[in-house]
Chains A and B, each alone.
Chain A
């Protein structure tokens, strides 16, 4: 493993109901890198995110190595304590938990720092600090709060699962800004998306299909490859 490697996934496999949802997948993410995983719906991107975070599944084969340590069987909390976190595609809602407290869950932060993270995702603190992370937030607001909470955790490695999906054109730049800030603070990012506009901020892009990484390259190359191959491909939602 290279010293620049933050996360190394080797031949990962997950079989659900007889179908190989993750199919011998290998992937490396370097320290300080934004590594995008681009793929259409149903290719296994969210399942990959869950396997890295230790949510819901344990793999049927392969290894997940984080900073040289095999974490394949570790529970969520242990991975989080090592500096891994996940921003969910559909984040949970919490009755009675203020945004201020939600952002302060992982670290004791000064109020000014919490405000900075809210500003970074375009949420004015004076309007949002005391609101609850509940159903009163719109979908876009909740996703921005999720991103701010990941920033507040100061993770070594953040998995961002379609934080840009369902976001309006006005809010999208705030999401992108939050991801760029994450990198500037030293986090490595695995950016799962099917939005080509967001992919532009990545250092490298892997194209995923049917539970596998098919190709890796620069954002420009991979977006072109994605357009030419994936958007017209009959493999959508066909595992294996």
Chain B
């Protein structure tokens, strides 16, 4: 059995390999939380931020509060992961961004050796008025694909607030992803949900993003970028409901199929219940654009190199 110190060193190492900033985890000025399986291995509070946690049998319950009016200079770094091949991790996360606060969170979820792992995230995010909250979540999975990832969130965005969420799963195999976010947008708020996923082998991807534009002049963008190879499958549902005067929403989905057995599906649902609201959508699903390929090949790239450049750009 490894000690907590060794365990911490191993997960920090994996965090670095997944693109995380290892130095940030050592800084006293930066709020951090590192969780392996159901154990909190390290946590640091910072001025204006309170992090509480509780270890549960199958995971961790954490609560992050940013005090009213506090503008946090350095993003909070979160690291969740399981290093063994098998395991279950349930994270219950409650985030409260109080009025006028500004904060960013950089989260890395790392499962480099996954053979039979379930990772669940159940988040309840409340963003007050005139606040800004950026959440960037990057996943790093191994090549086996033996993982089921189930991130769910309910988000409330207050008046004149900004919420930006980016979910990125482009390293290793996805395994099975069941992503489900629902956002309620207040008056003059701005919401942007971005999901970037690279599906390979037998990956099974389901993304559901739902935005309710409930406040006057609320604005939103749901943007999905997926590339599917081999026998990967994906279904992306982007829903936006314009329920208030002058609300504006847009759903933008691009899925590229780069393999004989891959299947991509996009279902945009746009609905307006207020005569002054407007919601639009666009979806492009199919193979890699022929003209893009020819352009890159005319610069001397071979077909495989050209595909890599295009895919890298889309998932960037």
Alpha-carbon separation in the docked complex, A94 to B297 (Å): 14
Q: Tell whether B269 is near chain A: CB-to-CB under 8 Å.
A: no
Q: Are A92 and B291 neighbours in the complex by a CB distance under 8 Å? A: yes
B254 CB → nearest A CB, Å: 8
Q: How many of A's residues come within 8 Å of B, CB to CB? A: 24
Q: Tell whether B283 is near chain A: CB-to-CB under 8 Å.
A: no
Q: Are B295 and A77 neighbours in the complex by a CB distance under 8 Å? A: no
Please name all residues of chain B whose beta carbon is closer than 8 Å to the beta carbon of A76 when the two chains form the complex: 294, 297-298
Among B87-95, B149-157, B236-244, B301-309, the one that faces the other chain is B301-309
**Given A91-B295, A92-B291, residue A105 in contact with residue B300 (CB < 8 A):** yes
Q: Other CB < 8 Å A-B pairs besides A97-B313, A106-B301, 11 of them?
A: A56-B294, A76-B297, A80-B300, A85-B299, A92-B289, A92-B295, A96-B313, A96-B314, A105-B300, A105-B301, A132-B313
Contact of B314 among A86, A95, A149 (CB under 8 A): A95
Please name all residues of chain A whose beta carbon is closer than 8 Å to the beta carbon of B313 when the two chains form the complex: 94-97, 132
Q: Which residue of A lies closest to B306 (CB)?
A: A77
A-B contacts, CB under 8 A, total: 64
Q: Tell whether A88 is near chain B: CB-to-CB under 8 Å.
A: yes
Q: Tell whether B115 is near chain A: CB-to-CB under 8 Å.
A: no
Q: Which residue of A lies closest to B296 (CB)?
A: A105
**SS class of chain B's interface: helix, strand, loop or mixed?**
helix
Q: Are A105 and B309 neighbours in the complex by a CB distance under 8 Å? A: yes
**Given A92-B289, A95-B314, residue A55 in contact with residue B298 (CB < 8 A):** yes
Q: Tell whether A6 is near chain B: CB-to-CB under 8 Å.
A: no
Q: Which residue of A lies closest to B291 (CB)?
A: A92
Alpha-carbon separation in the docked complex, A105 to B300 (Å): 8
Alpha-carbon separation in the docked complex, A75 to B294 (Å): 10
Q: Are A92 and B316 neighbours in the complex by a CB distance under 8 Å? A: no
Alpha-carbon separation in the docked complex, A75 to B295 (Å): 13
Residues 77-111 of chain A: 1 if any B CB is under 8 Å from the residue's CB, otherwise 0? 10111001110100110111100000001100000
Q: Which residue of A lies closest to B295 (CB)?
A: A92
Residues 95-130 of chain A: 1 if any B CB is under 8 Å from the residue's CB, otherwise 0? 111000000011000000000000000000000000
Alpha-carbon separation in the docked complex, A79 to B300 (Å): 8
Q: Which residue of B lies closest to A150 (CB)?
A: B299
B186 CB → nearest A CB, Å: 29
Q: Which residue of B lies closest to A55 (CB)?
A: B294
Give the size range of B's interface with the partner. 20 to 34
Would you give 16 A-B contacts (Cβ < 8 Å), ordered by A?
A77-B301, A80-B298, A80-B301, A81-B300, A85-B300, A88-B295, A92-B291, A92-B294, A94-B292, A95-B254, A96-B313, A96-B316, A105-B296, A149-B299, A153-B299, A153-B300
**Given A96-B314, A96-B315, residue A86 in contact with residue B298 (CB < 8 A):** yes
Q: Are B315 and A53 neighbours in the complex by a CB distance under 8 Å? A: no
Which residues 263-316 in B have Cβ within 8 Å of A in the complex? 289, 291-292, 294-303, 309-310, 312-316
Which residues 237-259 in B have Cβ within 8 Å of A in the complex? 254
B291 CB → nearest A CB, Å: 5
Q: Are A106 and B299 neighbours in the complex by a CB distance under 8 Å? A: yes
Please name all residues of chain A whose beta carbon is closer than 8 Å to the beta carbon of B294 when the two chains form the complex: 55-56, 76, 92
Alpha-carbon separation in the docked complex, A97 to B289 (Å): 15
A151 CB → nearest B CB, Å: 12
Q: Which residue of A lies closest to B302 (CB)?
A: A77
